[in-house]
Structure 1
């Protein structure tokens, strides 16, 4: 319950009748303390279906309840979309990535047919204020020329800030306003130009100009252009995050007529009233006192929360005195000068915030919908008011059956806010992390808990990304070994290497986790454990060309990779590649054999298999092919510098160049600068079928996997073989006697550590422990950023190792300079007495 000091602080914000009304509610009914939500009933479906034992955490019950849609496996879902007045930020990502994951799981894992509707709020007080401020500050920048005038306006802006800092209901905003006012005072005392003053005081000036001139604006196009531009940016950001488009997108501006009609019905039903100004308010007291209805179902104790109620009404709301009760909220706002307006039976105006979603969701799904979602900050008053409006309209109390709320997002433990200077846009986040890493961060946490976006969270996400990438890289190499060695026996795996039970356990654990309110944390943990089990088996008996059990181990690795990729695809963290599609059974409790046969794997491995979380793209494959060729060119140049007169090295290089001309029609001495031209040249030489070639050039995913990637892979294998041949010669007696060994090995290391990683190619040397000889090197495509990170971490570890070595050497040198008397006196744990020459005589016990 709010304290008396809180009420005193809020007094300037509200009219004289509000505070007594709040106190009456608290003192006579205890409404903010004793109210509890009404009993929730499991929906009775209109259509029977075989449903999974899925439970969802329902905000209407604050507990996990069985999910039963009204129409069998068809799910109606309305999601509150953004208010488009500024750039999308990580708070938006918190909600929309979380709901995208849940949506994908319902559809792709459990097999529900989901209709997902989302709105765009393009009429709102925030939009009006921001559009006016942008318009006014732009004109001000064009017209103002006097330093004196600018300083005077800044002083007026500071005065307005001082007043707001005393009355704003949010503590962090009051602190911010005070700090900003002080900063602007310092700015005024500095010797600076008009331009610097304008830039430094832009936001404060915009707010001041709006308070002074906002009501005079007549160009209403600005109230359309801003939300259209911000909406486009929002959609672009969502697609960059791999968030699926809504099945239906609604905009408030397209629903004015239905909103007016909806409000009229609420008035006719006795739950709203019109005031003299032309505004229409919802009668919360009448609704709450009507049998069969309950106001504030989601947050019963918030009924009477003055600050939250005010935040839901908007910055441009009319005086509180026209309401019958302070908790009533606007359905229709009579517009004032400088505000956009539409006709209605009550006069020119615009919709209130809450009514917009009630109308659009009702239009999409009628008098009942299965799921309604939004951020946890929308619970009260927005979602509670939505419920009240719709129930007042339809005349029943079960408009939404399941309310899901995504948890808060904090930045390194703090609330995200421009006032705290920790406001992170989605575009800023994507400059630092990949969309997959951001999604992994969300998957590693519960969708309904607070997520702290900071270094620790993102390090965990990046580490998980690397774990999966490394595992898939090793699986790709295993399949290459299978195709190269061509074993003809499929013997049984020994117990230490058999992971069939680990795979079955992981499948069961994932099923149970996702049935438990889509608990992706547990599901991701199951993936990690399965990869760890695979890595442990690999460490116990590293795989090589001559290894026994090659076929069953390759089959096992392929099956595990397919399961993981299929699941990550369900989560929106991986693309639908051929390996992912091979895992055809999802949404089952596990226990059965993998849906992949040995013959499938052997056939797939007959040519290079694309094993990755990403589907291949033309630009990626072309860049890798071209980059690898340039790396080989540089490597050959290094070899010529290191061994100018070595006939053996020349022969190795000539064989490699001849292979490129024969197999790919490529000449290293005259490579085009255009990566795509090189790529197309290689494809045209190797893919003879015209229709298939057209699919490749157009970037058809399956064609790129089946035909383009093998071309790139064979070139990478040839480049790795070139290097391997040089290494073999470098270790020969002939190279050692000629003094070439070290130089050639350095050149080989440079290709592996520098040239290849720069173009997204990872090459790892492998040894066959059975023969103690070099085996086929592992080579493949890996994100260049990940390779750069690995290189950086390796350099840091080597630097730390060198520094520690130097420190130990220094300690040893310093110790050698000490006289014996000083050396032993510090070792009191060993010696307890010394003779007259200060030499230790008695050993401590």
Structure 2
């Protein structure tokens, strides 16, 4: 649909430059002469016949040919009246149409127009193109007798694409009009097929008003391109959490790389911790490569990246707990690999070497390199003031330092993280994310204040419930790496830590826990939305 493509490109090119425009846009109304010629050639080759001013494709004659075969994609659907009705409606199975055809499975190449219908002149009288012939004639006029890749939705395999194949190979007298079909899964909205009648239709523009282009792209990448993708609050929340997960890793690595060091400090001796992380790095790279070779399985690829980041985070935490500096070059190599792969996926735009670019609306002028030296001076000055205030017990000054961290800097897109006995970490994060974090902290403090009024067992139970409610169901099992090793696109575990498939009985138990967490998390989202 050229109109749909135009909408997609016009939004993508302004909001997200990774969506490239097509080389050619075609409109059926401009290709009627080519369609007429295409149909004439099929008739001349003996695979079409005229009936009552219409032209039909002779499926039996085509299928009987030595080098032809009808319904290559879905042979079992031949004669399926439901599939034909869904695909062609009255063009295929109404009583008057059936009477015109030699076989019920023959399809229209050219239809005689009824009074009041759009029509064009043809050798067979006034009429209009059949549904399938439009694509063959337009693609054939531009690409010739064959193409490498043809895309489309899973539901178009039969009758549309099977009929496209047949009529095109009948026209060109070959058996390779399309070498590879890529049939994508459906997009559903909260479990339902998009429909104007259900009023659950959402445009790309509407989706981008709620979520960033990167979050949408991550949601797509976290699902197989050939399977159904459900656009829902849970789906998008998983993508948002994945983005945060990656971004925090990138911010931590950049903070480590900014730490002052001499030239010898960049080549720290590798201990067993570094050796283990490096082995994991190469293992995960191999796993990502294997996933992408397996039918472009981005879902598994992103899960392997999640494992790599989790292992890297554990390494960083272990080194810091031991008061040792993490190996800069190893972490830099991992962060560069992740960045490069996410750029290939289109999830990172811009030329920044590590992580997501800072800034919005495409105004990425290496903001981090520009402002970070000044922020580091501010952070060091604040640390010095806090040290003196603690020694002199000047609580008012400490409160002012906290206000700068908690109120002032988040408004500017800056996060300060104070760690006992370690330098303050400075991170550039987009302002909206920090403001949401600030609001959530206020709610947590309000909850904690309420609980602190009563230290009874029920109050502590409420605190634990509040903490649990904030965990998305897609994340509840992923942290249990000692129990599970593989998860599906919803975060549900499929294999245990040893790589063995989880039994049906265990799956049933885990499913109950998952569904219970879905309800809890929905309560949390509703409370956040209502401000309660």
Taking structure 1 as the reference length, the TM-score comes to 0.50
* Structure 2 match to 1:496: 273
Is this contact kept in 2: 1:371–1:403, CA < 8 A? yes
**CA 1:283/1:569 → structure 2, altered by over 3 Å: closer, same or farther?**
same
- Is 1:310 aligned to 2:88, yes or no? no
After superposition, give the CA deviation of every residue in 1:600-624 in whole Å (9 maximum; x if it has no partner): xxxxxxxxxxx33237668756xxx
* Structure 2 match to 1:612: 355
Tell me the SS of whatever aligns to 2:410: helix
* Structure 2 match to 1:252: 28
Is this contact kept in 1: 2:335–2:355, CA < 8 A? no
Higher relative contact order (CA 8 A, sep 6+): 1
Tell me the SS of whatever aligns to 1:778: strand
Tell me the SS of whatever aligns to 2:152: strand
In 2, the alpha carbon distance for the partners of 1:243 and 1:428 equals 17
- Is 1:720 aligned to 2:390, yes or no? no
After superposition, give the CA deviation of every residue in 1:730-750 in whole Å (9 maximum; x if it has no partner): 3231xx3xxxx3333333223
Give the Å deviation of 1:722: 4.4
1:791 alignment partner, one of 438, 451, 473: 438
After superposition, give the CA deviation of every residue in 1:154-190 in whole Å (9 maximum; x if it has no partner): xxxxxxxxxxxxxxxxxxxxxxxxxxxxxxxxxxxxx
Give the Å deviation of 1:264: 0.7
- Is 1:574 aligned to 2:348, yes or no? yes
After superposition, give the CA deviation of every residue in 1:468-522 in whole Å (9 maximum; x if it has no partner): 10011111111110xx343634231221244221221121111111111111122
Is this contact kept in 2: 1:358–1:386, CA < 8 A? yes
2:328 alignment partner, one of 554, 564, 572: 554
Pairwise CA RMSD of aligned residues? 2.9
* Structure 1 match to 2:284: 506
- Is 1:236 aligned to 2:10, yes or no? yes
Tell me the SS of whatever aligns to 1:446: coil
**CA 1:283/1:237 → structure 2, altered by over 3 Å: closer, same or farther?**
farther
Give the Å deviation of 1:796: 4.1
Give the Å deviation of 1:381: 1.2
In 1, the alpha carbon distance for the partners of 2:408 and 2:127 equals 65
* Structure 1 match to 2:500: none
Give the Å deviation of 1:291: 3.9
In 2, the alpha carbon distance for the partners of 1:514 and 1:301 equals 30
Give the Å deviation of 1:715: 2.9
Give the Å deviation of 1:578: 4.5
* Structure 2 match to 1:589: none
Is this contact kept in 2: 1:478–1:543, CA < 8 A? no
In 1, the alpha carbon distance for the partners of 2:295 and 2:101 equals 41
**CA 1:722/1:366 → structure 2, altered by over 3 Å: closer, same or farther?**
same
* Structure 2 match to 1:434: 212
- Is 1:271 aligned to 2:14, yes or no? no
Give the Å deviation of 1:726: 3.6
* Structure 2 match to 1:68: none
Give the Å deviation of 1:782: 1.6
In 1, the alpha carbon distance for the partners of 2:179 and 2:162 equals 13
Is this contact kept in 1: 2:358–2:368, CA < 8 A? no
* Structure 2 match to 1:563: 337
- Is 1:731 aligned to 2:386, yes or no? no
Is this contact kept in 1: 2:9–2:20, CA < 8 A? no
Is this contact kept in 1: 2:9–2:19, CA < 8 A? no
**CA 1:779/1:618 → structure 2, altered by over 3 Å: closer, same or farther?**
farther
Give the Å deviation of 1:271: 1.5
Give the Å deviation of 1:387: 0.7
- Is 1:457 aligned to 2:235, yes or no? yes
**CA 1:563/1:333 → structure 2, altered by over 3 Å: closer, same or farther?**
same
- Is 1:476 aligned to 2:135, yes or no? no
- Is 1:532 aligned to 2:331, yes or no? no
- Is 1:381 aligned to 2:154, yes or no? no
In 1, the alpha carbon distance for the partners of 2:65 and 2:450 equals 76
Tell me the SS of whatever aligns to 2:108: strand
2:68 alignment partner, one of 284, 289, 293: 293
Give the Å deviation of 1:467: 0.7
Give the Å deviation of 1:389: 0.8
Is this contact kept in 1: 2:185–2:228, CA < 8 A? yes
Is this contact kept in 1: 2:26–2:138, CA < 8 A? yes
Give the Å deviation of 1:755: 2.7
**CA 1:284/1:614 → structure 2, altered by over 3 Å: closer, same or farther?**
farther
Which runs of structure 2 are paired with 1:371-450 in the superposition (5 Å)?
371-450=149-228
Is this contact kept in 2: 1:355–1:386, CA < 8 A? yes
Is this contact kept in 2: 1:280–1:332, CA < 8 A? yes
Which runs of structure 2 are paired with 1:624-663 in the superposition (5 Å)?
none
**CA 1:466/1:811 → structure 2, altered by over 3 Å: closer, same or farther?**
closer
Tell me the SS of whatever aligns to 1:748: helix
Give the Å deviation of 1:416: 2.5
Is this contact kept in 2: 1:330–1:352, CA < 8 A? yes
After superposition, give the CA deviation of every residue in 1:671-727 in whole Å (9 maximum; x if it has no partner): xxxxxxxxxxxxxxxxxxxxxxxxxxxxxxxxx33xx64322223333334433442
Which runs of structure 2 are paired with 1:155-166 in the superposition (5 Å)?
none
Which runs of structure 2 are paired with 1:284-363 in the superposition (5 Å)?
284-313=59-88, 319-320=96-97, 321-363=99-141
Aligned residues: 452
In 2, the alpha carbon distance for the partners of 1:803 and 1:354 equals 66
Is this contact kept in 2: 1:576–1:615, CA < 8 A? no
**CA 1:811/1:517 → structure 2, altered by over 3 Å: closer, same or farther?**
closer
Is this contact kept in 2: 1:493–1:549, CA < 8 A? no
In 1, the alpha carbon distance for the partners of 2:5 and 2:286 equals 41
Is this contact kept in 1: 2:91–2:108, CA < 8 A? no
Tell me the SS of whatever aligns to 2:272: coil
Tell me the SS of whatever aligns to 1:511: helix
